[in-house]
Amino acid sequence: MQAMSAVLVHRKGSLQGQKDKVHHDVIRLGRKPDNHVIYSENVVSGYHAEIRRRGDEYSLVDLESTNGTFVNGKRVEKALLGDGDRIELGEDGPVFEFRTDQGKKGARIIPISGAWENGRGPIPLQRGTRTLGRGSNNDIVVGREHESVVSTDHAEIRVHSGRCELEDLNSRNGTFVNGERVRATQLQDGDRVELGEGGPVFEFQWHDGQRRSGGGRSSESDRIVRKLESAAKGGPAGDRTLLMLQAAQKYYKKRRWPLIAFSAFIFLVAIYAGASWYRERQKIQKLTVQAKELFYTMRTMQADIVAQAYRSDRMEKGKIDDLSRMAKRYDDFLEELGLYEGKTETQRAVMRLARRLGETDLEVPRDFYDTVMGHVSQWKSTTKLRAAVDHARQRQLFPRIQLALAHHGLPKELTFLALQESNFDATAIGPRTDFGIAKGMWQFIPSTAAEYKLKIGPLKNEAQYDALDERHDENKSTYAAAQYLAYLYSTKAAASGMLVIASYNYGQTRIIKRLDELPPDPRHRNFWNFYRNGWLPDETKRYVLNIFSAALICEKPQLFNISMEPCIP
């Protein structure tokens, strides 16, 4: 069988308008002259990425490039490519489309009704997994409309060699195949799938028009069955057909009761298995609801504790003890649910850090881990993190910053705000803005610094170091930063450390404006909502993920093959 061919169609950059056919099993892209596809842009690394072919599958692998590789807007280290995927080498770098002759074979879905992000044209399905849902992180975004019955993560389609499976992802309104609600099923050519009652509908097709294994009888088998059915109803039949019918009837008569008994037994076993599965499913759903309720109760209590510390400079021990007991109960729920089973150590580390920063590990977005690991790779590709950490160690900043944060009941991971703002440099000078010049390790603008009792020096309007400006004082500015963060943490961010980080970059009033549009509870006021719904600018999302990934590395450097002492106890 001839392998599927592919073409790179260059849409932006130095190769715009050019088409490159993929003739080899490995195609390397980069700036150096020994690459198969050569770019001139500086944003492209010497050896930037590779496209690898295995059978009919193509995958894209980033070669630890400086500026990253993006597939359909998402930074990836490795990704399975599909027809029409858009690849960008570095942010604002050259762009090409990956095209295959997939339209002549393989699988596809045909949107029939509903709101589909990319219109109702055929959607090719390559081998692998594709998710469908209302959330923007899905491979196929569908149902983004008012009062949609489509869940954020609704279903997934898995295409294998010769078969295609559909699985409902615990959606609110169910998934229906040919009118019947399903949990999981194997799709056949021509099946109609509905996402929620009255929701978007698509038809599943194999492009070559043939059903695969399990997809139906051969034409010869169909012809024989039709003849037998006609003869059984008294229709015309030849001698051969009558002999086959008599043999079938004799066999059935002889075997009828054993078949009936066996069928009854299978039916009872199926009922028992279905009931057991249903009970287990109900149990899991109940435990998940209880765990989420407990988590958001903990967040409300955490906000109260920090608010008290902000107002009175002390924390109530009784509430802290209650919070500790609730955290233990939450851990028990997660253990019973098996949430961390089958996860790698790095996946567990990402989930735990998200939880410490106020986001439930039960609802981590599907692409979050891969996005974080992309930022980890960025840190590993430069000396910036190690240099900043070495400077902070020399100045003994970590214990001082973490003591100030702990005094206000704040997550110690907020330490790395100072990394992102100034590389832990108390002499840092920021750019001139409409609000004045930001200065110091925490990059306070004059008005915020004054609000938190820092003295502003006479050179506040000059972009230079000012020894009389307390924004440059490591201890005083750190205590003021802890107070400011405690205010953000205990107000409408409702104890979401990640929303606090976003506020620090994007501006507290703009974050609060969006929060005010949400129902007043932490179930809606969380970073996961902002992340899934695209409510933050790309700059702010990168800002949050840079801090998150730096904290992840500095907690367990050895997990990422970095020879460095941990910065977080």
Q: What is the per-residue DSSP string for 296-346?
A: HHHHHHHHHHHHHHHHHS---HHHHHHHHHHHHHHHHHHHHHTTTTT--HH
Q: Rounded CA gap, 515 and 518, in Å?
A: 5
CA distance 386 to 239: 88
Tokens at residue 560, please?
A: 């990422």
Fold of the CATH domain 106-207: Tumour Suppressor Smad4 (2.60.200)
Q: In the prediction, which pLDDT does 212 show? A: 39
**Tally of CB atoms within 10 A around 459:** 16
Tens digits of residue pLDDT in 522-534: 877 889 988 888 8
Q: pLDDT (tens digit, 9 = 90+) per residue, 255-298? A: 556 666 666 777 776 676 667 766 777 788 888 888 889 998 99
Asked whether the beta carbons of 514 and 323 are under 8 A apart, the reply is: no
In the chain, ranges of CATH 2.60.200.20 domains: 6-100, 106-207
Residues 195 and 142: beta-carbon distance below 8 Å: yes
Partners of 466 in the beta sheet?
none
Could you identify the residue written with the tokens 């983004």?
144
The CA angle 68-3-160, to the nearest 5 degrees, is 75
294: left (phi over 0), alpha (psi -120 to 50) or beta: alpha
Class of domain 6-100: mainly beta
Give this prediction's pTM.
Answer: 0.56
Question: Token digits for 45?
Answer: 């690394």
What is d(CA 440, CA 481) in angstroms, rounded to the nearest whole number? 11
What one-character DSSP code corresponds to residue 136? T
Name the region of 548 (left: φ>0; alpha: ψ -120 to 50; beta: rest): alpha
DSSP string across 65-128 = -SS-EEETTEEESEEEE-TT-EEEESTT--EEEEEESGGGSSEEEEEEES-BTT-SS-EEE-SE
Spatial CA neighbour of 500 closest among 554, 424, 420, 426 = 420
What crossing angle do the helices spanning 368-380 and 538-555 adopt, rounded to 10°? 70
| Three-state DSSP class for residue 566 | coil
Number of H helices, E strands in the chain: 14, 24
SS3 label, residue 22: strand
Closest alpha carbon to 439 in 404, 392, 474, 394:
474
What are the DSSP calls for 375-441, one per residue? Answer: HHHHHHTSSHHHHHHHHHHHTTHHHHHHHHHHHTT--GGGGGHHHHHHTT-TT-EEEEETTEEEETT
HSE at residue 513, side-chain half, CA atoms within 13 A, is: 7
CB 183 within 8 A of CB 96: no
Question: Nearest to residue 329, comparing CAs of 366, 284, 282, 292?
Answer: 292
Amino acid type, 492? K
Q: Which residues pair with 140 in a beta bridge?
A: 132
**Element (H or E) spanning 132, and its range?**
strand 128-133
Q: Beta strand pairing status for 175-177 and 163-168?
A: unpaired
- pLDDT in 10s for each residue of the chain, 569 residues: 345 678 898 989 889 888 888 778 889 999 998 888 999 998 999 999 999 888 777 889 999 888 899 988 888 888 888 777 889 999 889 999 988 765 445 688 888 888 888 777 778 887 778 899 998 888 899 998 888 899 999 999 988 766 789 999 999 999 999 888 898 888 988 889 999 988 999 999 875 444 433 333 334 444 455 555 556 656 555 555 566 666 666 655 555 566 666 667 777 766 766 677 667 777 888 888 888 899 989 998 888 889 888 888 778 888 888 989 999 999 998 988 888 888 889 999 999 999 999 999 998 988 899 999 999 999 998 899 999 999 999 999 999 999 999 999 999 999 999 999 999 999 999 988 888 999 999 999 999 999 999 999 999 999 999 999 999 999 999 999 999 999 988 887 788 999 999 988 865 566 677 777 777 678 778 899 888 888 888 888 999 999 999 999 999 999 998 888 998 87
Give bridge partners of residue 98 from the DSSP assignment.
Answer: 8
